[in-house]
Structure 1
Amino acid sequence: MKRMKFSFLMILVVPTILWLLADTLYPEPFTYFAFRKVFIQYSGVLAIILMSIVMILALRPKFIEPYFDGIDKIYKLHKWLGISAFLLGVLHWWFAKGTKWMVGWGWLEKPVKTPSNEVLGTIEAWFKTQKGLSESVGEWAFYIMVILIFIALIKKIPYHWFVKSHKIFALVYIALVYHTIILTKIGYWSEPIGLLLIVMMVFGTIAAFISLFKKIGNSRKSQAKIVDLVEYPKLKILETTLLLDDTWKGHKAGQFAFVTSNKKEGHHPYTIASSWDKNDKKMTFITKALGDHTSRLKDTLKIGMNVEVEGPYGCFDFGDDKKLHIYIGAGIGVTPFIARMNDLEKNPNDKTIHFFHSTSKPDDEFLENLKEDVKNSNVNLHLFVSKIDERLSSEKIKELVPNWQNSSIWYCGPLKFGQSLREDFVSSGLNPEDFHQELFEMR
């Protein structure tokens, strides 16, 4: 999280510094209209840089995953940058459009323009002819962006609508690149901020076209067939086993993949609940009916159906040198730990592992399978059933694992519960780097 926050800060600070080397937010004489002119430039430049990075991160770049500790954190950064670009866009729009309204309302008096005898070059003259069109393009692109942002943030809107509408961002971005090229102050292009703008817009545009042509993650996609389905009605859980083709290169326990069973619906992210064995090439997903899509899976998925799998992604892979591990799986958050125990059964190690699992609706068959996995992997299970046992808490974990300060903790489950556990353990002396939490939230 520290790296994500640091990166977010640097993405804002570095372009700001470069822009200030080329211009100022304190023009002389300092008047509303003088400030408006420079602020429109600053907000527009910073917003398009943020949007460029948003487009690049949308490609799910694997090479930066280790730095951010997983693509789940990259998606978090993607979301923060998108919201920041939107807020900058609102300010940019208001100073550009709102000022004209305030002049019309009589709140502001527009300064008188002095005629310019400057002879424009060919490029500058052409840019001037494009000004009106680029302003209109930018304005309408902004309005579309507002709608798309609300679709992205309102979680009651079905996920497949979010995925489909999100692709329109690529067109909006390309329109805003045109808007930026035409309306950015000519003098910036010979400054460091101009070079940064060019680089960001080139890579952002490439990313936009990759998105438009549906090529994101193509090199990491494999075909698979459903070979088994097991339903646990009491838990509203469906266990799906796939047989993958030879293009799947394997995965680590704890990672996740995007699965497409219906192209109209689009892909959905699922944590992988099995270790990889290149001899049988099978992969298991455990999904809980939490929304409209997952609730329909038990009716739409059939044995023999072909699906597409993209991945693997994520760094929630239990990879550190600590001899003591504490695993906490709350509810459906048990999934990556099932994969981990499956892996430990095949590849035992000398770590001492305590696995805490809390559930509100126990299913006898599911729990028996879990206990069997625990037994075969030599893991210490601590099971907490709501309304029967006391509530799982950091205090209880500390009581059952006295030397917890020397452990690494791996948590998967509801975000708020994880944040609460993290805060308590860290405030009690745990190194923040030793608390690993999967932020499995894609919007």
Structure 2
Amino acid sequence: MRHLKQAFWLIILLPVFLWFLAEPAVFQSPSFFSLRKVIIQLTGIATLCYMSVAMVLALRPRWPEAWLGGLDKMYRLHKWLGITILLSAVIHWMWARGTKWAVDWGWITFSAGNGRGQEKKWGWLEHQTCGEQAGPDNGVAVFFHNQHCFAETAGEWAFYAVVVLIMLALLKRIPYHWFLKTHRLLAICYLALGFHATTLMKNSYWLSPVGWLVTVLLVFGSLAAVIAMLGKIGAGRQAPGKITSLHYFPGVKALEVEAEVDNWPGHKPGQFVFVTTDTAEGAHPYTLASSWQEEYPGITFIAKELGDHTALLRTKLHPGQSIRIEGPYGCFTFEDDRHCQIWIGGGIGITPFIARMKYLASIGKTQNWSTEQRIALFHSTADIDEEALDKLAQDSSSAYVQLHTLIDARDGYLTGERIRATVPGWRTASIWFCGPAGFGEALKKDFAAHGFPVERHFHQELFAMR
């Protein structure tokens, strides 16, 4: 999370800092309307930069995953940027349009201050005056100057679309497949906003560091937008698969799916994949519940009934059905040098721990804890399925993992105090949490209050793709 926050603030502040280098006298503007012109430039440039980075992150690139801590963290950054884009775009629009309304309503007294007549006030209030002949002799500059009116119109309508689409993305009541379909439209909006910014950005900026940054981000953002529009996100990490078996656990309303996968590169316990079972529905993320064995190119994932799509999977899927697997993703892979690990799986969040236990059993982990890592697993759940709990107990026994199962109605809720009382060496352990985000944050704050180094040794899977 530390790197995630650092990346977020770097993305937010870098365009602003470079813009101030290009406009060092911004606060010495002679009038409100002079200040308005440069603030419109700042908010427009910042919004475009943020949206460019968000577009690139949407491609699920490999290179920032390890530094940020996994694709789940990248999607959290993508979400934060989406909210920031919404705010900065609204501010940009209010400076552009709200000022005009304020003049009309008499809240602000208009004064051109540059010798132009009142009859041209709206042209003067724009980035440039629509319809005026271009001043520069440069052919490229003349072309872009003559596109100002069209660019302003395209940018305004793209802004309205962006606001609606981001709001829809933030509303979790919107079904996932509708979220995917509407979210792709943001790629078109981005290209329209890129044209808007390229045309209306102040010419002198292009030869300054802020212009160089905008150029680079525009190129990569536009490529990302085209890839998204073509539906090719993650295409290089996809493999065909076929379902071999299905098993339903009614007590926890979860479906275990086993599948053979061709040309699978392998995965580490704790990673997840995107699975497409229905092209119209799109790809859904699932944590893998199996360790990788090269001699058996198969995977297992568990789908809990959490929405319309997952609730119908057990009636739609069947052995022999073709599916598409994309991945693997994630850095929740239990790799550290701590002598003890504390695992906490809330509900369906137990899945990555099942995969890790199968891996430990496959490599022959022994009970000689003096030389190997000691592991305590806490599984907190509100649902009961005896078969699922029996399998969990078998997996933990095979991997020599100390299992502590807590049923909410029977044992009460899991707390940091209960964990510390059960694991005396918790101060020198690492904690791995997967489950409801609020539960994880509460445990993280509790352990931090007791002096545990949560920034380095509390690992939380942020398994939320929107």
Whether TM-score is above 0.5 comes out as yes
Structure 1 residues 29 and 233: alpha-carbon distance in aligned structure 2, compared to 1, 3 A threshold: closer
- SS state of the match for residue 265, structure 2? coil
1:307 partner letter: I
Q: Distance in 1 between matches of 2:408 and 2:401?
A: 22
Give structure 1 stretches of 5+ with no counterpart. none
* One-letter identity of the residue aligned with 1:114: G
Deviations 1:255-310 (A, max 9, x none): 00000000000000000001011111111111110111111111111111100000
Partner of 2:28, secondary structure, is coil
**Distance (Å, rounded) in 1 between the aligned partners of 2:383 and 2:90:** 46
Pairwise CA distance, 1:84: 0.7
Q: CA deviation at 1:24?
A: 4.2
Counterpart residue identity of residue 4, structure 1: L
Number of the residue aligned with 1:175: 192
**How many angstroms does 1:103 deviate by?**
2.0
8 Å contact 1:52–1:200 — kept in the other structure?
Answer: yes
Mapped to 2, the partners of 1:21 and 1:348 lie a distance apart of: 60
Give me the whole-angstrom Cα distance separating, in 1, the residues matched to 2:196 and 2:102: 23
User: Are the aligned partners of 1:410 and 1:436 in contact in 2 as well (CA < 8 Å)?
Assistant: yes
> Is this contact kept in 1: 2:29–2:35, CA < 8 A?
no
Q: Is the 8 A contact 2:431 2:458 kept in 1?
A: yes
- Structure 1 residue 28, shift from structure 2 partner: 3.2
Deviation of the 1:128 alpha carbon: 2.1
Q: TM-score, normalised by structure 2?
A: 0.92
CA contact (8 A) 1:25 1:38 kept: no
2:225 alignment partner in structure 1: 208
Question: Quick one: structure 1 residues 117 and 203, their matched pair in 2 at CA, closer, same or farther if it must change by over 3 Å?
Answer: closer
Q: Residues 186, 241 of structure 1: CA spacing in aligned structure 2 closer, same or farther, 3 A cutoff?
A: same
Matching residue's letter, 2:431 = I
The residue type paired with residue 449 of structure 2 is S
The DSSP-based 3-state class of the residue aligned with 1:274 is coil
**Structure 2: which 5+ residue stretches go unaligned?**
117-131, 366-371
Gap change, CA 1:233 and 1:28, over 3 Å in 2: same
Q: Quick one: structure 1 residues 231 and 203, their matched pair in 2 at CA, closer, same or farther if it must change by over 3 Å?
A: same
Report the CA distance between 1:343 and its aligned residue: 0.4
Could you tell me how far apart the structure 2 residues matched to 1:74 and 1:307 are? 25
Residue in structure 2 matched with residue 137 of structure 1 by the alignment: 154
1:216-365 → structure 2 map (5 Å cutoff): 216-245=233-262, 247-349=263-365, 350-365=372-387
Aligned to 2:7: 7
SS across alignment from 2:64? helix
Q: Within the alignment, does 1:109 sit opposite 2:132 as a pair? A: no
**1:439 Cα deviation after fit:** 0.2
Q: Does residue 1:198 correspond to 2:215, yes or no?
A: yes
Structure 2 distance, partners of 1:117, 1:2, is 51
Q: Does 1:148 align with 2:171?
A: no
- Paired position in structure 1 for 2:33: 33
1:163 aligns with 2:164: no
Partner of 2:74: 74
User: Aligned equivalents of 1:196 and 1:391: distance in 2?
Assistant: 50
Matched residue SS, 1:397: helix
Equivalent position amino acid for 2:462 in 1: L
Residues 53-64 of structure 1: matches in 2 within 5 Å?
53-64=53-64
Q: Cα deviation per residue 1:170-220 (whole Å; 9 max; x = unaligned)?
A: 100000000001000001011111111100100100111111111111110
1:311 Cα offset (Å): 0.2
Change (3 A) 1:118 1:289: closer
How far has the Cα of 1:104 moved from its partner? 2.2
Alpha-carbon contact 2:134-2:146 (below 8 Å) kept: no
Quote the offset at 1:32 in angstroms: 1.9
In the alignment, what sits opposite 2:368? none
Alpha-carbon displacement from aligned partner over 1:53-87 (angstroms, at most 9, x marks no partner): 00010010112111011110010111111111111
- Paired residues for 1:370-381 under 5 Å: 370-381=392-403
Aligned equivalent of 1:390: 412
Q: Give the TM-score normalised by the residue count of structure 1.
A: 0.97
Q: Distance in 1 between matches of 2:197 and 2:133?
A: 26
What amino acid maps onto 1:357 in structure 2? H
User: Using the alignment, how far apart are the partners of 1:198 and 1:389 within structure 2?
Assistant: 58
| Corresponding residue for residue 390 of structure 2 | 368
On the 8 A contact 2:55/2:224 being kept in 1, the answer is: yes
The answer to whether the 8 Å contact 1:24/1:38 transfers is no
Structure 1 residue 359, shift from structure 2 partner: 1.4
Deviation at 1:105, TM superposition (A): 2.2
CA offset at residue 119 of structure 1?
4.2
Give the 3-state SS of the residue equivalent to 1:167 in structure 2. Answer: helix
- Give the aligned residue type for 1:438: E
Deviation string for 1:359-400 (max 9, x for gaps)?
Answer: 112111111111111111111111111221232111111011
Instruction: State the distance in 2 between where 1:391 and 1:125 align.
Output: 68
2:424 is aligned with 1:407: no
1:423 maps to: 445
Aligned partner of residue 26 in structure 2, secondary structure: coil
How far did residue 441 of structure 1 move? Answer: 0.6
- Quote the Cα distance in structure 2 between the aligned partners of 1:440 and 1:292: 18
Matched letter for residue 425 of structure 1: F
* Cα distance change of structure 1 residues 404 and 265 upon mapping to structure 2, 3 Å threshold: same
Say whether 1:46 aligns with 2:46: yes
